[in-house]
Amino acid sequence: MKNAFPLLCVVVSLAFLAASCQDGAQQQDLYFTVEQSDLPIYVTATGELDAKNSVKIRGPQGMRAAGIYETTLSDIVPEGTILSAGDYVASLDRTELANKISSIQTELDKIQTQLDQAKIDTAIELRGLRDQLINTEFSLREKRLQADLNRYEAQAIIRQSQLDLERTERDFEQLQQQYLLKQEQAEAKIREIQTQQRQQMNELNIMTSLSQEFNIYAPEDGMLIYARTWGGKVEPGSRITAWNPVVAELPDLTDMISKTYVNEVDISKIRRGQDVVVTLDAFPDNQYNGSVIKVANIGEEVNGYDAKVFEVIVQIAVPDSIMRPAMTTSNEIKVYTHQDVLFVPLEAVYSDSLTYVYKHIGNRLVKQEVITGPASSNHIVIAHGLEAGEEVLISLPKDNEEYDFYPLDPNIKEAIRLRLQEELAERMREARQKEEAVKDVEVPQRSGSGDDMIIIIN
């Protein structure tokens, strides 16, 4: 695939060697011998392995309901530990929760005291009213008896006895109503206190249950991988929020991906369906084929990059058993291989109103107009204007001499441009076919800006 490049290195090295041998002091111009071969165009980006699917190991789901919005990860088992379902994974700091439980218990004690006092006050008050009712009832009987005895007395005495009786009856009725009212008020007050007590008890039960969840256990079998956030990898001392309480993951190692980033300059070259070669940095002899299935639409700023980059995800369809999350990968995305073409280094091509190279003819230099095609990071295709075996200067001439200019025939130039357009259209058709082949591949979702680019590894 890259047979042209060792040959290129030999040619350039020989040019350097020849230059260094002449006079031993004065540096000579460097030339490149035009070769005709395949020119692969690649975009290379560093990535990191991850699982496409994983089981999230989360902290308590009820933290927000308990008014706890973040806490600290106190302890977690070493990353890479093989776990069985139910095994201990991690624990969270209970300081804030313990303070809340203590506060609730204090409030419960206070409420219980209020409840006891309310019952005592009610009992005392109602007993006083009952005593008054009993006394008034005795007084009422006396008044009735007195009224019966005074039936044959003077009219004034009878009237007075009747008034005393009515007054006593009214007092008795008022006391009865007052007793019932006080009883209802006391019951309502006690119910209110008991309601507060139940609320606090419910909250205490929630807090107690939540406290048990601060010890986190594996939901199923798997290898433990620490969760990653915008702040980096979760580890002891990390803050765990109520909105995203994930502390670790159990990745599905049978379905791996590699996440990477492509810079702004190269992202325009990337299309879904392009072939990819993925190499594990830890095992450089191991390579895996793949294809791009999604390209990010929006760039993002990432630490370690000077400009905005676009996320790339590499999916391993048949992963190797040596693959582990967080392993570093080198992803070589094959944009296109131009077959049997002429090409020269980018440094050999110059442009003002026309595009040209400095070509060596015999013992002199001339400015040869050329038509260029696609370019890689180091070389550019010469569609017309040069032939294999010719030598071109790969640096500006040392003098200011005027060189003869060899233009191209305008008719030939137009024909070449039309041919290049047809070749581009053909490449686009091939690219669309490759895109169609991967359109149904499942894409893992992510939070944050931009879409994903995914590369399937065969």
CATH of the domain at 446: 2.40.30.170
Query: What's the pLDDT at 125?
Result: 85
- Are 42 and 62 members of one domain? no
- Are 294 and 188 members of one domain? no
Alpha helices in 214-308 (DSSP H): none
Looking at residues 175-193, what average pLDDT do you find? 87
Domain count, the chain: 3
Using the CB atoms, write b or e for 59-84: b if 16+ within 10 Å: bbeebeebebeebebbebeebeeebe
- Are 419 and 343 members of one domain? yes
How would residue 438 be classed by pLDDT, with cut points 50, 70 and 90?
confident
Q: How far apart, in whole angstroms, are the C-alpha atoms of residue 196 and residue 235?
A: 40
Most confident of 29-38, 163-172, 381-390: 381-390
With respect to residue 193, please indicate whether it lies within any of the assigned structural domains: yes
With respect to residue 266, please indicate whether it lies within any of the assigned structural domains: yes
Quick check: 23 pLDDT over 90?
A: no
- Are 374 and 407 members of one domain? yes
Per-residue pLDDT tens over the stretch 402-420: 888 999 999 998 999 999 9
Quick check: 4 pLDDT over 50?
A: no
Per-residue pLDDT tens over the stretch 340-367: 999 999 999 998 889 999 998 888 889 9
- Are 258 and 245 members of one domain? no
Query: What's the pLDDT at 28?
Result: 62
How would residue 259 be classed by pLDDT, with cut points 50, 70 and 90?
confident
Please say whether the beta carbons of 272 and 81 come within 8 A: no
User: Would residue 286 be called left, alpha or beta, if left means φ above 0 and alpha means ψ between -120 and 50 degrees?
Assistant: beta
- Are 305 and 205 members of one domain? no
What does the mean pLDDT of the chain come to?
Answer: 83
Per-residue pLDDT tens over the stretch 80-127: 899 999 999 999 999 999 999 999 999 999 999 999 998 898 888 888
pTM of structure: 0.61
Structural domain of 82: 54-92+214-251
With respect to residue 25, please indicate whether it lies within any of the assigned structural domains: no
